[in-house]
């Protein structure tokens, strides 16, 4: 994906998806792995 929308608020993620954007619902408080979510969306993210 050339552009990915990342947010912790589900309504924002849903709205972005409805507009045709690749959207990732990321929540650090539940231990989400952003790099894995971005990889699943087709983005190569550097690992620390």
Structure tokens at 4: 């990915």
Domain boundaries, the chain: 4-40
User: pLDDT band at residue 47, thresholds of 50, 70 and 90?
Assistant: low
Enumerate the β-bridge partners of residue 23: 5
CA distance 26 to 44: 16
Range 22-38 average pLDDT: 91
- Is pLDDT above 70 for 35? yes
CA distance 16 to 35: 19
User: pLDDT band at residue 31, thresholds of 50, 70 and 90?
Assistant: confident
């Amino acid at each position: 994906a050339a552009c990915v929308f990342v947010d912790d608020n589900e309504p924002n993620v849903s709205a972005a998806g409805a507009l045709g954007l690749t959207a990732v619902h990321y929540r650090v408080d539940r231990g989400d792995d952003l790099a894995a979510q971005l990889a699943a969306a087709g983005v190569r993210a550097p690992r620390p």
